Amino acid sequence: MSKEFFLGRGSGEYPSKDPDRRQDSDTPHRRVGYTLKGYTSNLFLSLFDQQEIFNSLDYYATSLDSDSTDYNFFSEVRLILVKNLNRLSKALQDFEVSEIAKLGMLDAGRAAFYEYRMSYQRKIVTDIQDRLMAIGRLSQLTGQVDIIKVLLLQAWVIDIQLKTNTLELLAEKGKKFSSSSGKGLDALGNILLNLMQQHGKDTGKKQILKLLEDMADTSSEQAVIREVDYENKLVYWSRFTPTAFDTIGNRLSKYKKKYF
């Protein structure tokens, strides 16, 4: 099958479901001159493109499970959507890493290994992917089509905001992605507070030191945590600024009272 795929008629008129009335030329799909490669540049190329896909999803949601042709065409549309959602998810993850680095949590080169948190926007994108991939027959699309369309519209807005540098990441609906960082905290303070929020407010000093040691990087000038020196009981951070282990413990106690 060509990498070009078929969508619903632009007129919005679909043929009869009666097989006796359907002619070879009376197909519920028409070729759109975009390739899979072309679609990876955006979730939808245009408002017309979005309407065509939504019309197609509506049509497939009323198809019979026995109609393997319709399921194959639905799979083509799903493939394109999932490919573009994968691209958007990766772009969001990269943006999250950059935001984490700004908070002083990790340098951008190492943040990707920690998967510190997923933004509300990336959860929306992941939800759509999961819903689409869970559809094994067209009758399963029937009860999902409306919520899938709503989520796709949300993802489209997210995609546009990301590309126009107007996206503000959210940790959850109405809560800023960066709201966990304390106002006025230095880079080390941001890291300690974020670790407490990730691992629990009662996380002890020894565990925090181990986590700091795991993210330490002496080879990168951009790294926030540079070294955990157990012999001298010092944590070196940013430009090798030293902070004593006891001071780390005091900060943990202070942050527990103030932020939890």
Q: What is the average pLDDT value for the chain, to the nearest integer?
A: 77
Q: What is the structure's pLDDT at 70?
A: 92
Q: What is the structure's pLDDT at 218?
A: 79
**Confidence category of residue 155, pLDDT binned at 50, 70, 90:** very high
Range with top average pLDDT, 27-36, 98-107, 108-117: 98-107
Query: Which CA distances in Å does 248 have to 158, 207, 210, 255?
Result: 39, 12, 12, 11
Q: What is the pTM of this model?
A: 0.57
